[in-house]
Structure 1
Amino acid sequence: MKNTTRSQFNAYAAQIAALNSVDDATVKFAVEPSIEQKMEDRIQESADFLKDINILPVDEMSGEKVGIGIDSPIASRTNTVDNDRSPRAVGDMTGKTYEAKKTDFDTYITYKQMDIWAKFPDFQARLRNKVIEQIARDRLMIGFNGTSAAAETDIDTYPMLQDVNIGWLQHIRADASERVLDGIKVGAGGDYENMDAAVFDATNELLDPWYREDSELVAITGRSLLADKYLGLINANDAPTEKNALRTLMANKTLGNLPGLGVPFFPTRSLLITKRSNLSIYWQSGSRRRQIMDNPKRDRVEDFNSVNEAYVVEDFGACAFLDNILLPDGEGGWA
C-alpha cells in the first residue's frame, strides 16, 4: 500500500486498539463489551429485515430460549376453594433450548482498494462498514438457508452458507414438522389454485388459534415467488386507469390477506408465515474476538472476527411453513 495509506491504516488499527483497551489490534483480542454492543447494533441496522427481528445478547453458550416478543393467552379463572391459582408462562416456555456456535466472519481488503479509499475523509468508517454489511448479509443467508453447523465449512459446496449454522427454517423442519407443508402443488389442478389460497389455509390450519388473527403476521418469501403472483396482473393491465390501480396494489403486496414480504436469500420456492418478532439471533456476550493483520504476502489487510451465535424461533406455534412449493412447469407437470 502507499505510504499515505499506511499512515491511515495505522491510525485505524490504533483507534480499534484504544476502543478495546488493548495495546495492539494486530494481536487477537476480546472485544470490549460496549464496542461489542455497538457493533451488533450497526449489523442490525445494515439490513432491513434484521431491524425487525430480535438480536439479543445472552450470557451462556447454551440455555433455554428467551421467548421475547411472543404472546399467548393468560386469562383464566380458578376455583380457589379446591385448587391453587396457577400462573402461565408467556410464550413458548416448553424447555426448548438454543446452542450458540462459534462463527467466523473473516474478511480482507486489498492494498489497491485501500489506496483508493484512503483518499476519502471517511476512510475508517468505510473499512468498518465493509465488514458490518457483509456480516448482516451472511446472517440472512444462514438464517434462511442454514441446515447444519459443520466443523469445517465448504463455501464451494454450500454457497448459501448452509453448513455454517442451523437457521430458522431448518429449526422448524426439524423441531416442528407438524407446522410444515412440504411439496404442495400451487396452480390449476394442484392442491391449491393459487398462493393466496395456500397461505390462507396454512394460516388457519397450522398456526396456534391465538396467532391466526394477529395483526403482526406476515408472509415471508423470496422476491421471485412474490413477483410471480403479480406478473400476470402486470401483463394483463395495459389501460392507464388499470396501471394506476396496479401501482397501488404492487405497493401493498399481500398473500392470503397477509402482508407479503420478499426477503433476500430466502429459498425461492418456500414461504414462512410468522411474526417478525418470533425470529431471533442470540449472540453470546463476551464471545467476540478480533484481530487485524497486515498480510504483505497477499497484498492485503485481513480482519478476523468471530462470535458465538444461534438462530432461534421463539414459538413454533406462531409458524406455518410452506416448503418446496411446486408450480406448473408449462408442460403439464410440476416443478
Structure 2
Amino acid sequence: MNLTKLATACIKAYSAQLAKAYEVENTSEQFAVTGPMETRLKAALLDSSEFLRMITTLDVDQIKGQVVSVGNTGIATGRKAGARFTSGQGVDGNQYELRETDSCAYVDWGTLAVWANAGTEQQFMKLMSENATQRFALDILRVGFNGTSAAANTDPDANPLGQDVNIGWHQLVTTNAPDQIMTDDIYFNPDATGELADGEYKTLDAIVTELRLTLIPEQLRNDPRLVVLVGSDLVAAAQIKLMNQADKPTERVAASQMDKSIGGLRAYTPPFFPGKRLVVTLLSNLHCYTQKGTRSRKSENVEDRKRWEDKYWRYEGYAVEDYEAYAAVDESAMNIGPAPAP
C-alpha cells in the first residue's frame, strides 16, 4: 500500500512540528535532545504511563555509580548528649550501571492513512506523538519488571518482554539480596477447606502478611508507603473465588475491587508485571536512571519498509535503592491450586 496524499501531507506537518519543537532543521537525521527539550521529553514519557510516574526516575551524570538515595527508611528523630541528633540518609553500597538503549516505534503506511482520514491534522499529530512516547514509556516498565540480562544483540522473538535488554529490579534483588526473594514452592489455593498444608495459603492477604513480617525489616514493616505489586493471574484466581461466592450486587462490587488492598497494603498490578509474582516494597524504591546528555531522537519516513519510524537512543538502567525494602515471591515458586498430597 502506498502512502496517501493526505497522509503524506500530515506526516510532513508532523515532521515540521517536531523539528520546530526540538529546534533542529531535519528530524530524519539523528539529533541530540538537550536542555529544556530533555526535560520535556522526560515529562512526556512520564505522562504516558501512570505507573511510571509513581517510581523514581532520575537523570545521572555517570554510566556507573552509587544508587541515588531519595529517602531514608530509618528513624530521623532522637537526641545525643552534647550534640544535635542526626541519622544517615539512604543505603550505602548499592550500585547501578547504565547500558546503551535503543527504542523504535513505527507506524505502517496503512495505519497512517487511516489516522489521516480519521480526524483533523492536530488529532493526527496527537496520535503520532502518543504512539511513540507511550511505547517508549511502557518498554521502560516491561524491561524493569522482566529484564534478567543485557545482551549485545537482543532477540525480541525469544525475549518478547525485554528479558535480554537490561537487568531489571527483580533480577537485581535476586542477584544481590537473594534472601529477599521466596523461591520455595508456595500454593495459593482459594478453594482450600480444612487444614492447610505447609506452604499453602487460602488468601493473598496471608501471603502478603507473611512477606511483610518475615522479610521486611522492623523499621519499615508498618511504613504507610509500603505497597503490594500483584500479578494478574493471582488477582484473577482470587476474584473468581469471591465472585462465585457472591450472591448480592454489593458483594460482587467488593469482589471486583479486592485487588485495591491486599494484606492491609495498597495493591497495584503494573503493566507487564509477571502474572504470578508478588512483591512488597515502596514504589520509590524502584529506580530508573538515564544519563544526562545522551538522549537522541530520529523521526523519519522509511520508504523501503513502508512506515514512519520514531527512534529514541540513550544510556539507561535500573536500580533498587534498598534491597531490604523489597520482599517477593518469585513467579517460579508461586502455584495456583492445592499443595500436592504428601
TM-score of the superposed pair, with normalisation by structure 2: 0.88
How many residue pairs match? The answer is: 327
**Alignment-derived partner of residue 89 in structure 2:** 90
**Alignment-derived partner of residue 192 in structure 2:** none
**Alignment-derived partner of residue 193 in structure 1:** 201
**Alignment-derived partner of residue 63 in structure 2:** 61
**Which of 216, 237, 243 is the equivalent residue of 2:225?**
216
SS in 2 for 1:118: helix
**Which of 17, 20, 34 is the equivalent residue of 2:19?**
17
Distance verdict in 2 for CA 1:330–1:65, change over 3 Å = closer
Measured in 2, the distance between the counterparts of 1:255 and 1:150 equals 36
**Alignment-derived partner of residue 75 in structure 1:** 77
Task: Give the % identical residues.
Answer: 30
**Alignment-derived partner of residue 29 in structure 2:** 27
Residues 63 and 97 in structure 2, CA contact (< 8 A), matched pair in contact too: yes
**Which of 269, 273, 283 is the equivalent residue of 2:290?**
283
The 10-residue stretch of structure 1 (14-23 or 208-217) with the greater mean CA deviation from structure 2: 14-23
The 10-residue stretch of structure 1 (56-65 or 182-191) with the greater mean CA deviation from structure 2: 182-191
Distance verdict in 2 for CA 1:328–1:17, change over 3 Å = closer
SS in 2 for 1:48: coil
**Alignment-derived partner of residue 261 in structure 1:** 268
Measured in 2, the distance between the counterparts of 1:291 and 1:327 equals 45
Question: Shift of the alpha carbon at 1:246?
Answer: 4.0
Structure 2 residue 201 is the aligned partner of structure 1 residue 202: no
Kindly provide the CA deviation profile for residues 224-259 of structure 1, in whole angstroms up to 9, marking residues without a partner as x: 212212321211222x2xx41341353253322222
Distance verdict in 2 for CA 1:32–1:8, change over 3 Å = farther
SS in 2 for 1:197: helix
Residues 107 and 302 in structure 1, CA contact (< 8 A), matched pair in contact too: yes
Residues 282 and 309 in structure 1, CA contact (< 8 A), matched pair in contact too: yes
SS in 1 for 2:106: strand
SS in 2 for 1:159: coil
**Alignment-derived partner of residue 325 in structure 1:** 333
Kindly provide the CA deviation profile for residues 95-148 of structure 1, in whole angstroms up to 9, marking residues without a partner as x: 212111121111221122212222332222211110111112211211110001
Question: Shift of the alpha carbon at 1:184?
Answer: 2.9
Residues 277 and 334 in structure 2, CA contact (< 8 A), matched pair in contact too: no
**Alignment-derived partner of residue 47 in structure 1:** 49
Kindly provide the CA deviation profile for residues 190-227 of structure 1, in whole angstroms up to 9, marking residues without a partner as x: 31423322211110111121110011211101112122
**Alignment-derived partner of residue 237 in structure 1:** 246
Kindly provide the CA deviation profile for residues 287-329 of structure 1, in whole angstroms up to 9, marking residues without a partner as x: 1111122221222122221121112211112111111233355
Residues 72 and 88 in structure 2, CA contact (< 8 A), matched pair in contact too: no
Measured in 2, the distance between the counterparts of 1:327 and 1:87 equals 46
Measured in 1, the distance between the counterparts of 2:254 and 2:246 equals 13
Residues 197 and 339 in structure 2, CA contact (< 8 A), matched pair in contact too: no
One-letter amino acid of the structure 1 residue matched with residue 40 of structure 2: K
Measured in 2, the distance between the counterparts of 1:28 and 1:60 equals 22
Measured in 2, the distance between the counterparts of 1:269 and 1:2 equals 46
5+ long unaligned stretches in structure 1? none
Question: Shift of the alpha carbon at 1:51?
Answer: 2.1
The 10-residue stretch of structure 1 (178-187 or 201-210) with the greater mean CA deviation from structure 2: 178-187
Distance verdict in 2 for CA 1:115–1:328, change over 3 Å = closer
The CA RMSD measured in Å over matched residues stands at 2.2
SS in 2 for 1:71: coil
5+ long unaligned stretches in structure 2? 190-195
Question: Shift of the alpha carbon at 1:11?
Answer: 2.3
**Which of 2, 9, 13 is the equivalent residue of 2:4?**
2
Kindly provide the CA deviation profile for residues 167-195 of structure 1, in whole angstroms up to 9, marking residues without a partner as x: 11111101111211113322431314233
Question: Shift of the alpha carbon at 1:32?
Answer: 3.2
Residues 293 and 303 in structure 1, CA contact (< 8 A), matched pair in contact too: yes
**Alignment-derived partner of residue 314 in structure 2:** 307
The 10-residue stretch of structure 1 (36-45 or 159-168) with the greater mean CA deviation from structure 2: 36-45
Measured in 2, the distance between the counterparts of 1:116 and 1:182 equals 49
SS in 2 for 1:201: helix
**Which of 108, 111, 121 is the equivalent residue of 2:109?**
111
Question: Shift of the alpha carbon at 1:7?
Answer: 2.5
